Amino acid sequence: MPEPRTWQLTACSAVLGLALAAGAVATAGPWDSGQRKAERARAAATAPTGGAHHAPAGPPAAPSRPAPAPSAAGVLRALGAPDATRPGDLAATLVPLLADPGLGPLRTASVVDLTTGKQLYGEGATTPMTPASTIKIATSAAALSALGPDHRIPTTVAASPDGRTLTLVGGGDPTLDHARLKALATDTARALKGRGVASVRLTYDTSLYQGPTRHPIGPNDNLAPVSPLMLDEGRLDRSDSGPAPRTADPAGDTATAFAELLAKAGTTVQGAPAPGRAPQEAKAAPLARTYSAPLSALVERTLTHSDNDLAEALARQTALARKQPASFTGAGKAVRTELTTLGLPTAGARFADGSGLSRDNRLSAALLTGLLTRAADPARPALRPVLTGLPVGGFSGTLKGRFDSGPALSGAGLVRAKTGTLTGVNTLAGTVVTADGRLLAFAFLAGRTPSPYTAQPALDRLSAALASQG
């Protein structure tokens, strides 16, 4: 017989699918140096992706987009779901929990019914706070809105007219791995052989990005230098998530690895790879290329594992789509513009980076629940990966080791949420299925917290309390 938590996860998946298809919605972590030791094991998951199947390397057929079932609202009514969770009862439940000393003196909250778009509870909901890694919800939604869920990021090889100078051109894909780089080298060597070329010199082009490559927090195991050309996110230990030693030169290391793979494929590379720029006409007609997984899969990976490198890449892809410089500043402007396009209030919001590592970021609880509401809107299926990528309490990603004891246990399998942790900052934003079958969005942000060991359980109890409503 299945364990109780398995039943909870199954119930969560079923109700989530129904609730997301209900009628149209009304208008409505990141780590710094030396921090988040408590979550390192939680962030290091065994698989690099979320719950959905993510396609292997190469450009397979584009995935179909989700289509909401128009009859789902009737199904929910048939299950006996009431018209709404009562705000008075909700306040009586949440106010004492929000007073937990573990949350520190600064805390804000927003709870919204995703079926109706109605705010059920708010405390300082429009007050901008440091969001930590929950800003990845905004980064992901902006990228999906600007580019669509089927967009793939290319890494290409451009060749001079005589084929004797190659340029490895970074397109901004931090998920490029050894298997895909090897396939790219094999394809390149084959194309060169067809041209009768056996020896080349190799350069590499990182001109797609502008501005500083180092995040203002400086060298850190949670983020490689931000480059449009990198192999395995610049990780030196072959891990696929969580903190790891990082290379100081992602692009140079990637080009060196590519040169070695070219040699193994039968093409001689003269000298060491050097920085360079491919002519525009050569970029337009590359000799070979490889593609990332679809943006929908990249968003799920970003959210499930709180992937900082991928979040910064998504922010820069949004900048490129909106004709902004692909830099920290340009990406921030583009994300804000995209959220405004989605009809969300961005007054007081600040996007200093895409990952949430910066303490200069500002988001409100209301903006976070607004983003989740947009992602649940049946009229916006392109945003759905924002919801499907959220970790499941007690089961996956950065929530795998949480919701495992005490009052929070009732939220296991029913809470899906993005975590956020910096020293003195703890946040949680996501969705929860209530006892009466409603799907709610919530955001809880706490500042000047005394310790993650007290703040995180307090946040878990808040979201688990929502699961018991009705």
pLDDT for the residue 260 = 98
Residue 191 burial (10 A CB sphere; 0-12, 13-18, 19+): middle
Catalytic residue among 110, 133, 396, 410: 133
- DSSP-based three-state secondary structure for 269: strand
In a domain, 442, yes or no: yes
Q: Is 160 a catalytic residue?
A: no
Return d(Cα 233, Cα 228) in angstroms, integer.
10
Strand-pair partners of 439: 433
pLDDT for the residue 284 = 87
The residue type of 12 is: C
Residues 6 or more apart whose Cβ sits within 8 Å of residue 314: 139, 140, 142, 143, 295, 298, 299, 302, 354
Those residues of the chain that have pLDDT short of 70 are 1-87
Same-domain pairing of 362 and 444:
yes
In a domain, 196, yes or no: yes
- The total of other beta-carbon atoms located within 10 Å of residue 43's CB is 25
Same-domain pairing of 300 and 265:
no
| Predicted confidence (pLDDT) per residue in 17-74, tens digit | 444 434 333 333 333 333 333 333 333 333 333 333 333 334 434 433 333 333 333 3
Return d(Cα 161, Cα 365) in angstroms, integer.
54
Q: Number of structural domains, the chain?
A: 2
- The total of other beta-carbon atoms located within 10 Å of residue 466's CB is 28
| Chosen domain end from 269, 292, 315 | 292
pLDDT for the residue 76 = 32
Q: Per this entry, what is the length of the chain? A: 470
Q: Is 364 a catalytic residue?
A: no
Residue pair 157/188 in contact (Cβ under 8 Å)? The answer is yes
Return d(Cα 209, Cα 42) in angstroms, integer.
32
The CA-based angle 48-36-12, given to 5 degrees, is 50
pLDDT for the residue 470 = 75
Residue pair 425/361 in contact (Cβ under 8 Å)? The answer is no
CA dihedral 73, 419, 247, 237 (to 10 degrees): -90
Return d(Cα 260, Cα 20) in angstroms, integer.
48
Q: What is the pTM for the complete model shown?
A: 0.84
Same-domain pairing of 185 and 255:
yes
Same-domain pairing of 302 and 256:
no
| Chosen domain end from 292, 323, 358 | 292
Return d(Cα 377, Cα 173) in angstroms, integer.
29
Catalytic residue among 136, 182, 400, 418: 136
Same-domain pairing of 317 and 402:
yes
pLDDT for the residue 85 = 60
Same-domain pairing of 342 and 432:
yes
**Residue 281 DSSP symbol:** H
Q: Is 133 a catalytic residue?
A: yes
Same-domain pairing of 268 and 384:
no
- DSSP-based three-state secondary structure for 47: coil
Residue pair 439/114 in contact (Cβ under 8 Å)? The answer is yes
Residue pair 427/444 in contact (Cβ under 8 Å)? The answer is yes
| Structural domain boundaries, residue 222 | 154-292
Tokens representing 262 are 């070219």
User: End-to-end alpha-carbon separation of the chain, Å?
Assistant: 27
Catalytic residue among 145, 227, 306, 463: 306
CATH number for the domain spanning 271: value is 3.50.80.20
In a domain, 63, yes or no: no
Return d(Cα 305, Cα 397) in angstroms, integer.
5
pLDDT for the residue 25 = 34
Per-residue HEC secondary structure of 189-217 comes to HHHHHHCCCCEEEEEEECCCCCCCCCCCC
